[in-house]
Chains A and B, each alone.
Chain A
Amino acid sequence: MPSISHLTEEFFRTLPFFWKPLLLTFELTVASVIVGSIIGLFVALLKVSKFKLGQIIANVYIMVIRGTPLIVQIFVLYFGFYKMIDLGQFWSAALALAIHSGAYIAEIFRGSIQSIDKGQMEAGLSLGMSSSQTMRRIILPQAMKRSIPPLGNQFILSLKESSLAAFIAMDELFSLARRLSAETFDEMTYFLIVALYYLVIVMIFTYVVHRMEKRLAKGDV
């Protein structure tokens, strides 16, 4: 176990190296959550639709993502995107993560959509609006609001999961820790330091989500 003073020393010594990987981790996470949300919304709408084939496609997608290890998904999707359609490194990795988180985000959206009182759809229909108009104008805005706290949690998960991008040669946080430890054989020090980085970001973000949750709860009916 490295001493506290050694850890502190190394933390400050390596601080400048961490800036770029930190940014990349953040970019990967934001990109994958945004794209994942778009995928998730589309899949959630398929799931709540009456369109049988759509439901089947959505279910198979969610089953495959839930039923296989993330690292395997990342390798398959990354090399698929990178080699076959030449998306470049960043977007291949971001899309791989997005397709993964999309399945979980779809379940978040589906849950929120189904949590909206049935009377809302009936009110829209009884007023002569179509079901898609009611979905878009009445159900989704309310469901989106309810999705914000669980989406915040998904963001935290995605942030941690983005560390697996180190294995596809992305120079993000975890990858830097691996490199530093390989150079110095002082593994514990750098993995502890990178853990601290993740922990601090997650704590900051948890706080933000918590605050948002409280604000939303106040505005609720």
Chain B
Amino acid sequence: MEDKQVMIRVQNLKKSFGQVEVLKDVTLEVAKGEVVVLIGASGSGKSTLIRCINFLEIKNGGDILIEGKSIDPKKDDLTKVRQKVGMVFQHFNLFPHKTVLENVMEAPLIAKKADKEQTKQEALQLLQKVGLSEKADVYPSSLSGGQKQRVAIARSLAMKPEIMLFDEPTSALDPELVGEVLETMKQLAQDGMTMIIVTHEMGFAKEVADWVAFMNQGKIVEMARPEEIFNNPKEERTREFLNRVL
């Protein structure tokens, strides 16, 4: 076995909404610094899976381990867990009543009670990193979708997470704005961030993913290296899905 540090381990995860079983026995492992891209048809449970890993949904069965520690949503302090596991949403969910800079500073100041001046310096650096220094003092409503999503990424990074989850970060964007967000994410991957990304951008998956996992009806049907999944999928259902989207 390789002695990679496992950052996320999902074991036999089950999640139902009422009578509907949305996740059926999902098992997944993500090592430090790896990028896993989740693909699959609409309704297959991709969002539910990463929301469970952020504990925005509470599992009905199985186990979720973050850095080797099993998390019990009833007992563990989820705010501490989520400080390690950032999340970026399809619809950005920026805070409209705060400026871009305030959006990025909010969580470190409030959740970590971090020093204000230092937080500000770090926030400005992050905005520079995502190419939005000059937008620090504007409100989110005046940004384009791509800029909003890059602010959301900077906001998440401000908590210095070990892991980042992305739920279709480019699906709400005009086509010409997708590239800038993917570029930012590629940067993150190169910096060694551990990431799980739900996306329909197959080109990005091919280029950036260490692993591609195909989900179907609440299960991970196949997980392999991108070249294998795209060129030589083992499962018939994977092949069908890829034929439809590629």
Contact = CB atoms under 8 A, between A and B. Distances in A.
A128 B84 CA distance: 8
In the complex, which of the residues A119, A128, A142 has the most CB atoms of chain B within 10 Å of its own CB atom? A128
Interface stretch (A75-83, A86-94, A129-137, A181-189): A129-137
B56 interface: yes
A138 interface: yes
B106 A137 contact: yes
Interface residues of A, number: 19
A127 B86 contact: yes
A164 B150 CA distance: 57
B95 A128 contact: no
A221 B140 contact: yes
Contact of B80 (A117, A128, A133): A128
In the complex, which of the residues B78, B80, B111, B140 has the most CB atoms of chain A within 10 Å of its own CB atom? B111
A117 B79 contact: no
Contact of A129 (B94, B96, B111, B156): B111
Contacts of B78: 125
B77 to A, nearest CB: 9
Given A128-B83, A221-B140, A221-B141, A122 B89 contact: yes
Contacts of A133: 110-111
A133 B110 CA distance: 7
A212 interface: no
Overall SS of chain A's interface: helix
B96 A221 contact: yes
A125 B79 CA distance: 7
Contacts of B83: 127-128
Nearest to A128: B83
Contacts of B110: 129, 133, 137
Interface string A131-150: 00100011001100100000
A115 interface: no
B49 to A, nearest CB: 15
Contacts of B91: 119
Nearest to A120: B93
Nearest to B95: A138
A130 B111 contact: yes
Interface of A: 117, 119-120, 122-130, 133, 137-138, 141-142, 145, 221
24 contacts: A119-B89, A119-B91, A120-B93, A122-B93, A123-B94, A123-B95, A124-B107, A125-B56, A125-B78, A126-B82, A126-B86, A126-B156, A127-B156, A128-B80, A128-B83, A128-B112, A128-B159, A133-B110, A137-B106, A137-B110, A138-B106, A142-B96, A221-B139, A221-B141
